[in-house]
Amino acid sequence: MFYLLALFYFFYFGIVGIYVIFMPKVLAMVAYTPSEIGIIFGAAPLVRFLLPFVFSRGRELNARVFNIAIFIMFASSISFYYSLHNFYALFISNIGLGIGMSLTLPYIEIISLEVVGKERYGKVRLYGSVGFVLVALVLVRYLTSPNVALLYLLVLSAITSLIAFVIVKNIKKTKKIEHDTFNDVTILKHWKLWLSLMLMQVSFGAYYNFFTIYETAYGVTLDMTINLWVFGVIVEIFMLFFQGKLLKLNLLYILEVTIFSAVIRWLLLYFYPQNLPILFFAQSLHALSFALFYSASITYLYQIYSSKVLAQQFLSGITFGLGGFIGAILFGYIYEYFSSYIFLVASLIAFISFVFIYSWRRDISKS
């Protein structure tokens, strides 16, 4: 089962790599305007945010719904071929892909935590990072037309869907996954925790959307900027492999450390955008601010909530969904009008996230 899960993560995050790195370029190649691209790519994060609320009303993300989700993901990847030149059809295709991927990952995360355990979770999840990097390195060499990217998207979606189906079919035979019988994910009651997690992802909006153009604007070559991206993923993989013992410690302390590492990371990018040794050091913090933060987040929510699948859906929806959407829009305007301050603002947002997680830990310790 370990290797099936590893293959799932490899191909799933390969899809993410195609979607995040290359699809905006594809739409630009077929003459979509920047505002149209923004609207189209805003569909998936919003769907990701809204879906958990649907399932909080008594609906259950079970094996049947999961299989429907992987079918929607695959069908949506096919529809990209036929909707590429039609704005509204492409918008709907993105919604479909968002629904499929948003329902698929949280269910697999629960299977991973229950089957391989939190100590070995990072070792299986790191294959996703490998898939992301390899797809980026391969596709960048062969992206000669929009159809090339669409073919990669279709093939990887088909493989991911097949592997996901096999995983769930096998898990039903060997191990019963406990489904949510009630909803104890209290967003409002635990608002400090959820706001901290969301703000952390908002701060990453500066990095995911503008790091490349920010660095190249300061004279760092595109090749060196790509090396910085790759180095960040390499340290991420390293952390995922060795983080097992760390996840046995107090997870709230770990969240505090990882969030504060993002504060430092964004400040370094603000003060030293042209200093390569410092830039590589800042990228080394990706091991903490992304890899360990992500693992600690899903593990902590897995521990404190009985509605485990729903908790992972909310993590995906509130952070990568709402947080990603706000971060993209916010830093788009900041970069347009105050480009040099983009990572200073990101650092401030990460610091606010740190304040809320610190306050949440203090509240928990008193109760």
What does the DSSP assignment read for 176-232? PPPPPSS----TTTTHHHHHHHHHHHHHHHHHHHHHHHHHHHTT--HHHHHHHHHHH
DSSP 301-358: HHHH-S-HHHHHHHHIIIIIIIIHHHHHHHHHHHHHHHGGGHHHHHHHHHHHHHHHHH
Report the pLDDT averaged over residues 130-159: 84
The larger pLDDT score, comparing residue 96 to residue 114, is at 96
Residue that the structure tokens 């370990």 belong to = 2
Phi, psi of 329 (to 5 degrees): -70, -50
Q: What's the whole-model pTM score?
A: 0.79
**b vs e for 30-55, b when ≥16 Cβ sit within 10 Å of the residue's Cβ?**
eebeeeebeebbbbbbbbbbebbeeb
Report the pLDDT averaged over residues 321-334: 84
The larger pLDDT score, comparing residue 309 to residue 71, is at 71
Question: Looking at residue 181, what DSSP letter applies?
Answer: S
pLDDT of residue 58: 56
Q: Six-digit token pair at 8?
A: 């799932």
CATH number of 191-366: 1.20.1250.20
pLDDT band at 183 (very low <50, low <70, confident <90, very high): low
For the chain, residues classed under CATH 1.20.1250.20 are: 2-174, 191-366
What is the average pLDDT value for the chain, to the nearest integer?
A: 86
pLDDT of residue 56: 62
pLDDT of residue 117: 81
Q: Is the pLDDT of residue 146 over 80?
A: yes
Q: Is the pLDDT of residue 79 over 90?
A: yes
Classify domain 2-174 at the CATH superfamily level.
MFS general substrate transporter like domains (1.20.1250.20)
Give the integer Cα–Cα distance in Å for 117 and 248: 11
Instruction: Read off the pLDDT of residues 211-228 as tens digits, 9 standing for 90 and up.
Output: 888 888 899 887 888 788
DSSP 29-77: HTT--HHHHHHHHHHHHHHHHHHHHHHTTT----HHHHHHHHHHHHHHH
> Are 21 and 149 contacting, i.e. CB atoms less than 8 angstroms apart?
no
Q: Six-digit token pair at 40?
A: 């189209």
Phi, psi of 180 (to 5 degrees): -70, 125
- Burial-class residue 182 by CB neighbours within 10 Å (0-12, 13-18, 19+): exposed
Instruction: Read off the pLDDT of residues 120-139 as tens digits, 9 standing for 90 and up.
Output: 888 898 899 889 888 877 87
